[in-house]
Amino acid sequence: MNFLEEIARRRTFGIISHPDAGKTTLTEKLLLFGGAIQEAGAVKNNKIKKSATSDFMEIEKQRGISVATSVLAFNYKGIKINILDTPGHKDFAEDTFRTLTAVDSVIVVVDVAKGVEMQTEKLVEVCRMRKIPIIVFINKLDREGKDGFDLLDEIEQKLKLKVVPLSFPIGMGYDFKGIYNIWDKKLNLFSGDAKQTVSEGVEFTNIDNPELDKIIGGKWANNLREELELIEEVYPKFDNEAYLNSELQPVFFGSALNNFGVKELLDCFVQIAPPPQPKMSSTRLVDSKEKKFTGFVFKIHANMDPKHRDRLAFVKIVSGIFKRNTNYLHVKMGKKMKFSSPNAFFAEKKEIVDESFPGDIVGLHDTGNFKIGDTLTEGEVLEFKGIPSFSPEHFRYVNNADPMKSKQLAKGLNQLMDEGVAQLFTLDINGRKVIGTVGALQFEVIQYRLEHEYGAKCSYENLNVHKACWVEPEDDNSYEFKEFKRVKQRYMAKDKKGQLVFLADSAFTIQMTQEKYKSVKLHFVSEFK
């Protein structure tokens, strides 16, 4: 298979939703249909029966939630699919936002009973800004929920999407009979007892056929005919170009837990979803079909295997072929590096690959050379943009709870901060360490991982900080900047890169500071340089 054929057969997408909409379960079932696993694990009531394949960290298995993006790859009908299963919980949203820089399309999962929830709105807004093609999957149809048309209206209004249903449910909850697949003109009937089996659709091109009444009953057949007629009148015809331009969003209905409607989603996805797309860099647009290799780090994960203390940088390949044992330029460091054991992923299982193509995600063993956003090329000096580091909203002093383990604590904090799970600030006045996170649950995750992966214990103390502001003076030597640093010295700190940060205690303080020191700019994202 030649280079262009390899690119054309790749699909890299993320699955996003509010927590508990069934995102990780859907990932499992996609793997099941792709033949990548034999049996799916169910995540129920935060008690793991068999923990989900994509939740491989110990804390995820215990809590029943995803706290880090995981990467899974499999082949289906000749298409190489790379799934990035993201955390749904708002406290881990930063990981999800960064992951969205590495995908070419997304599937948004919506719970049939809860409808569109807040976290889904935020994530879809990011996708809309970046013009990422979206498919919506309305999940949990085997439970009582909102009417199909009401849900479609809610998705249009709250998410500001233009939807086109490509399947539609027959009944819901206790009355759930099945799904009519508009895309393939097939009828899929539901039998609630067969939880792990896959039902094949019955070809049904003419829904006026009286056979339909015999199969699902006259009342349901007439309902379905009326609903399909309404869909034809109200919603636009599916247009692949409009979907790829993020102007139209197809919607599928199903029940991931019961394997229902998932195959229909997957079959349509491999036909319509985009192959690897061009990406904007600091100097030019990089096309995926270019022969020279470029790629960027969108995630770092320490201790994928706690026994070996290994640290992996996840690289999304943008163009060219990434080859094992070949020298590549680390643009920020300005030095050449080669990688003897690049990994392809199946959750935490890894295998060494000799070649990877645009769209693929490769894991590179890292001894501390990589930071999130770093670019690798064959020699060209360029950097990929749009990988933000947000201003944290929760702050605590971090204290060493075991003085004998200060080395382990320092190493653990250092590595976990490189992952982007939180940010570490060192106060100028007394050198105390402060951790800032986007969500409060992150503190628990950091504490747990420090103890179980590094053998270090920490305790926290509350700190009254409203926001971290990165400081950019017009002139480093100006009187105004020196005065700003003198007056605010109690609140001045350095981040991990050594950049100056002002830890403001309120929105009012930020406003007054900006008015008083006009030549000192305050930024809420650290990527301003």
* CATH number of domain containing 169: 3.40.50.300
Residue 70: per-residue pLDDT? 67
Helix or strand run (H / E) with residue 94: helix 93-99
Confidence of residue 387 (pLDDT cuts 50, 70, 90): low
Same domain (yes/no): 413, 469: yes
Provide the residue type at 386 as one letter: G
What does the alpha-carbon distance between residue 449 and residue 457 come to, in Å, rounded to a whole number? 9
Same domain as 104, residue 45: yes
Higher pLDDT, residue 319 or 25: 319
User: Do 367 and 444 share a domain, yes or no?
Assistant: no
Last residue of a domain, one of 240, 272, 304: 272
Indicate if 9 and 84 belong to the same structural domain: yes
Give 269's pLDDT tier (boundaries 50, 70, 90).
Answer: very high
Closest to 102 (Cα-Cα) out of 121, 84, 114, 116? 84
- Shared domain check, 483 and 404: yes
Say what the pLDDT of residue 59 is: 46
Burial (0-12, 13-18, 19+ Cβ within 10 Å), 525: exposed
User: Quick one: 263 and 295 in the same domain?
Assistant: no
Checking if the pLDDT of 56 tops 70, the result is no
pTM: 0.74
Confidence of residue 327 (pLDDT cuts 50, 70, 90): very high
Closest by Cα among 295, 347, 346, 298 to 322: 295
Whole-angstrom Cα distance, residue 78 to residue 231?
32
For residue 49, how many other CB atoms are within 10 A of its CB? Answer: 10
- pLDDT given at position 53: 45
Among the candidates 237, 253, 272, a domain finishes at 272
Residue 324, exposed/middle/buried by CB under 10 A (0-12, 13-18, 19+)?
middle
In a shared domain, residues 310 and 444: no
Mean pLDDT calculated for residue range 148-160: 92
Please compute the mean of the pLDDT values over residues 190-218 and round it to a whole number.
65
* CB of 501 closer than 8 Å to CB of 425: yes
What whole-number distance in Å separates Cα of residue 437 and Cα of residue 305? 24
Q: What is the DSSP string of 55-70?
A: --SHHHHHHTS--S-E
Average pLDDT over residues 206-230: 82
- pLDDT value of position 307: 55
pLDDT at residue number 418: 75
Residues 264 and 295 reside in one and the same domain:
no
pLDDT tens-digit map of 469-479: 889 998 888 99
Please report the pLDDT score of residue 273 as a whole number. 93
Mean pLDDT score, 413-421: 77
Residues constituting the chain: 529
pLDDT at residue 515 is higher than 70: yes
Span 277-304, pLDDT tens digits:
999 888 899 999 999 999 998 887 765 5
Mean of per-residue pLDDT scores for the chain: 81
Establish if 529 belongs to a structural domain: no
Q: Which of 472, 495, 496, 494 is nearest to 484 (CA)?
A: 472
Residue 386 lies in a domain: no
Looking at 272, 287, 306, the residue that finishes a domain is 272
Residue 388, domain member (yes or no): no
Report the range of poorest mean pLDDT among 5-14, 281-290, 347-356, 423-432: 347-356
My answer on whether 365 and 495 are in the same domain is no
- Residue 54: per-residue pLDDT: 44
* 383 in any annotated domain: no
CATH number (domain holding residue 418): 3.30.70.3280
Highest mean pLDDT among 197-201, 372-376, 513-517 belongs to 513-517
pLDDT of residue 47 exceeding 80, the answer is no
Domain assignment present for residue 166? The answer is: yes
Q: Can you give the pLDDT at residue 390?
A: 63
Phi, psi of 302 (to 5 degrees): -85, 150
Q: 286 with 260, same domain?
A: no
pLDDT at 270 over 50: yes
pLDDT of residue 336: 93
Q: Can you tell me the distance from the alpha carbon of 490 to that of 83, in angstroms, rounded to the nearest whole number?
A: 45
Tell me, yes or no, whether 316 and 258 share the same domain.
no
The CA distance from 366 to 380, in Å, is: 22
The more confident residue out of 52 and 24 is 24
Given this model, what pLDDT does residue 66 score? 40
Residue-number span of the structural domain to which 179 is assigned: 3-272
Residues 29 and 81 in one domain: yes
Cβ atoms within 10 Å, residue 508: 10
In angstroms, rounded to a whole number, what is the distance separating the alpha carbons of residues 320 and 350? 22
Which of 20-24, 114-118, 436-440, 522-526 has the largest mean confidence? 114-118
Residue 340 lies in a domain: yes
Q: Which two tokens stand for residue 421?
A: 């799970």
Pairing of strands 43-44, 328-330: unpaired
For residue 35, tell me if it sits in a domain.
Answer: yes
Mean pLDDT of 439-452: 82
**209-218 average pLDDT score:** 78
357 has a pLDDT exceeding 90: yes
User: Percent of the chain at pLDDT above 70?
Assistant: 82
CA distance 320 to 3: 8
Does any domain span residue 384? no
Q: Average pLDDT for residues 237-241, to the nearest whole number?
A: 93
Q: In sequence order, which residues have a C-beta less than 8 Å from that of residue 109 and are 6 or more positions away?
A: 15, 16, 17, 21, 22, 23, 26, 137, 139, 256
Region 193-198 average pLDDT? 48
Q: How many domains does the chain have?
A: 3
The band of 487, judged by pLDDT with boundaries at 50, 70 and 90, is very high
CB 520 within 8 A of CB 472: yes
Q: What is the mean pLDDT of residues 41-50?
A: 35
Query: Could you read off the pLDDT of 111-151 as tens digits, one per residue?
Result: 988 888 887 887 888 788 788 999 999 998 888 888 889 99
pLDDT tens-digit profile of 1-30?
789 999 999 999 988 887 777 777 888 888
- Helix, strand, coil % (nearest 5) of the chain? 30, 30, 40
Between 437 and 331, the higher pLDDT residue: 331
41-50, 95-104, 385-394: which is most confident: 95-104
